[in-house]
Structure 1
Amino acid sequence: MMGTTLPTPLYGLYREQIGFSELIVTVVFAVYAVGVIAALLIAGGFSDVLGRRPVLLAALGLAALSAVCFLSEGGLPLLYTGRVLSGFSAGLLSGTGTAAVLELAPPDRRGRAGLAATAANMGGLGLGPLLSGFLAEYAPWPLKLPFVAHLALLAIATVVVCLLPETVRRSVPRPSLRPQGMTVPPEVRGVFAPCALAAFAGFSMLGLFTAVAPAFLTETLGVHNLAVTGAVAFCVFCASTAGQLLMGPVGARRSLPWGCAVLVAGLLLIAASLLLESFPVLLAGAVTGGVGQGMAFRAGLTEVSTAAPPAHQGATISAFFVVAYVGISLPVVGVGAMTVALGLRGAGLVFTGCAVLLVTAVGIHVRRNLSPATVRR
């Protein structure tokens, strides 16, 4: 997952080297999300048939190909290709990796396993910009060394995956592999809808920070240190992991509306930072919004994975991530398009205003519709 956010602090360097607008930055970012969604829709249930380990190895191979594309520095076409491959990798890994971790855990530790899976997701996303920002600022070859380090980590991960036991028993005859689209079993739908809406809202805020916040830091706040840019993105994802930890004592049902409420507070702080041009307020908004997103995300994933029948667990979790990644892509492209007419700050204010309305509506919906009868504890 680190590889998916490695380019975040580097977009300014790519803009200087290749020459493109903020809109293109968001399109390059969104192409990754399109790759994620395509992989989830086409191959979301493949690991239920082939087994977890082969799909995990395929995901690692695609991540390596993505790193090679960025190492070549061949202009926009290879940037697009690298991001699409990174999206394919993340799409295969998100559902399959989560299902594998849950299945490898003893029954009495499934809650902790769910935290490990979501924390690995968010932790990897946060470590990507932190690593690349630090290497780009303080080490040579700023557009190459981060991806060399990523390839080394992928090699280690490949060895680890090869040593893991397979958790899926292959049936004979084996079912045919075919795209399953959004597979949500009927018994899961009452839980799935509100949980997926909360994930959509939270991931839209994450998209803002991974695609647009670096340009805002540089152009509006005058922060040109790439390590600082990467650290800000890291704080969002660290806060998300902290929010996931909070879900334990709060409980899954209450974490969904409470997470939305905290996320609204974070978005309001982000809007205030745009108006005041204040770095401390932006950082406070990042941390607050991240905590809210983490609470809602882990609660939603826990409930969906618990409600899913074993034969469709991988496909159901993949469908959950599809909704989340629609949230991380479409709103961000909208912000990029608005920068042409409104400028970066104006577009950011419009985005945060719309996001506040969306998250508030989702929180109210979750509060009213996720009754005890629909929540499996």
Structure 2
Amino acid sequence: MTSSAIEPIPTRPWPAIAATAFAFSVTMMGTTLPTPLYSIYSDELAFSPLTVTVLFAVYALGVVGALSLFGRLSDDLGRRPVLMLAVGFALVSAFLFLLPPSLPQLTVARVASGIGAGFMSGAGTAAMMDLFPPERRGLAGTLAVAANTGGLAVGTLIAGLIAEQAARPLFTPFAVHLALCALALVGLLVWTPAPMGAGRFVIRPSRLRVPAELRHPFARAVLAAGSGFAATGVLTAVSALFLARDLGMGSHALAGFVVFLAFAGMAIGQLVARRMQASVALPLGCGGLVVGVALLALALHGVALAPLLAAATTVGVSAGLCLNAGLATTVQRALPERRGEVSSSFFAGLYTMLALPAIGVGLLATSIGLRGAGLVFTAAVALLAIAVATIDIVTNRRGEARA
């Protein structure tokens, strides 16, 4: 029998909610801070597009590794210790980025950032839901994903703006992040509740299992939201190089703004989806992804900025719709003692779908170029989104017919 160490809901939960959301956002910021700086790293260290996409995607391997090995850790130890561990890895990553850059050092820093994001994605989502009563779990899920995607959006925007103005664009953004990580650790220690009856720290390789009754909606949710993550991931990985090399726009602030639009749109998509049934939000989000990747294809084919900005916004909002619907049909329906495991499984699937297409585009770019690889990718995502939407609509109609 599995033991659990879930913290009690505080009498005044809002300080704990604020501290958890801040720590969540700060940890996720670290994963996108380097995004608008890739063109600088590429110039200084002679990185190819493949190296840049791999460097971007390698953090997702850290995410999936942390979720696979420690998916149930917050269920066993309690949420607060794992949240603090996540922020600790983000702090280590920020410190490594402060060192003189080299490919091995940047890779280790990205992996550390991914491990922190992995711990936070599972434990942070579960912790946020634990702090709300059952009837407000929808709001909890929305706040958790807003903190997640909000951190991703703010990280790239801040890095781009700082890099545009600072004398040391590869140092200053990470110094700011280091300070924010320290502040997040203090907030967690002071405001979040301590676990009761915590178990042992166990490295337990997980098969990323979900309860049998959730497996079918889980598969659809991961494929739908994962399509959005895949589109966002490739756009994030290549946008700085596309702007600098193809459009001749070397502004780091603009590179950060493009990615900000995607993740800010994802946060907006969460809020919109809260007012919808999951059975409506998921196929609608998939349809939006088809439009978004079509705009991205137009930007790549026509070498144009306007459709790139529209693509970032559309992909972000659509991914947010899918992500919220996915959480509503999976993590929110899990029992408290399984919630950390289900949340970890959900995000492991999403980050796998984020990493592999980004690396694939980098590999394909070596033979047909960055733009050609992007066009192949957009077609694949569009087909996947159409398939998932069709399956979801058919499944829901069958369920209604049986009812």
Does the pair score TM above 0.5? yes
Aligned to 2:161: 134
| AA matched with 1:362 | V
Aligned to 1:362: 388
Give the secondary structure class of the aligned counterpart of 1:222. Answer: coil
The runs of at least 4 aligned residues of structure 1 exceeding 3 Å deviation read: 164-169, 173-177, 370-374
**Structure 1, residues 49-68: CA drift from partner, whole Å, max 9, x if none?**
00000011111111111111
Give the secondary structure class of the aligned counterpart of 1:72. Answer: coil
Aligned counterparts of 1:167 and 1:373: Cα–Cα separation in 2: 42
Tell me which moved more, 275-284 or 49-58.
275-284
- Alpha carbons 1:100, 1:167 under 8 Å: kept: no
Select which of 177, 192, 196 maps to 1:165: 192
Give the secondary structure class of the aligned counterpart of 1:73. Answer: coil
Give the secondary structure class of the aligned counterpart of 2:170. Answer: coil
Aligned to 2:232: 206
Aligned to 1:71: 98
Task: Name the count of aligned residue pairs.
Answer: 373
| AA matched with 2:132 | A
How far is 1:373 from its partner?
A: 5.2
- Alpha carbons 1:191, 1:370 under 8 Å: kept: no
2:242 maps to 1:216: yes
Aligned counterparts of 2:211 and 2:190: Cα–Cα separation in 1: 32
**What percent of counterpart residues are identical?**
45
User: Gaps spanning 5+ residues in structure 1: where?
Assistant: none
| AA matched with 1:331 | P
| AA matched with 2:263 | F
Give the secondary structure class of the aligned counterpart of 1:181. Answer: coil
Are residues 136 and 115 of structure 1, via their aligned partners in 2, closer, same or farther at CA, if it must alter by over 3 Å? same
User: Gaps spanning 5+ residues in structure 2: where?
Assistant: 1-27
2:321 maps to 1:290: no
2:285 maps to 1:279: no
2:178 maps to 1:151: yes
- Alpha carbons 2:289, 2:315 under 8 Å: kept: yes
Aligned counterparts of 1:57 and 1:175: Cα–Cα separation in 2: 14
Aligned to 2:359: 333
| AA matched with 1:143 | L
Query: 1:246-261 alignment to 2 at 5 Å?
Result: 246-261=272-287
Aligned counterparts of 1:93 and 1:52: Cα–Cα separation in 2: 10
- Alpha carbons 2:80, 2:195 under 8 Å: kept: no
How far is 1:213 from its partner?
A: 1.3
How far is 1:345 from its partner?
A: 1.1
| AA matched with 2:326 | G
Aligned counterparts of 1:41 and 1:111: Cα–Cα separation in 2: 26
**Structure 1, residues 182-239: CA drift from partner, whole Å, max 9, x if none?**
1212232132111111121111011112111111111111111100110110011111
How far is 1:181 from its partner?
A: 2.8
Select which of 10, 18, 28 maps to 2:55: 28
Aligned counterparts of 1:35 and 1:312: Cα–Cα separation in 2: 22
Select which of 58, 61, 70 maps to 1:43: 70
Aligned counterparts of 1:347 and 1:154: Cα–Cα separation in 2: 37
How far is 1:161 from its partner?
A: 0.9
| AA matched with 2:223 | L
Aligned counterparts of 1:128 and 1:268: Cα–Cα separation in 2: 26
| AA matched with 2:225 | A
| AA matched with 2:98 | L
- Alpha carbons 1:99, 1:313 under 8 Å: kept: yes
Give the secondary structure class of the aligned counterpart of 2:169. Answer: coil
| AA matched with 1:129 | T
- Alpha carbons 2:274, 2:324 under 8 Å: kept: no
| TM-score, normalised by the number of residues in structure 1 | 0.95
Aligned counterparts of 1:175 and 1:24: Cα–Cα separation in 2: 35
What do you get for the CA RMSD once the two structures are aligned? Answer: 1.7
How far is 1:119 from its partner?
A: 0.5
| AA matched with 1:330 | L
Give the secondary structure class of the aligned counterpart of 1:249. Answer: coil
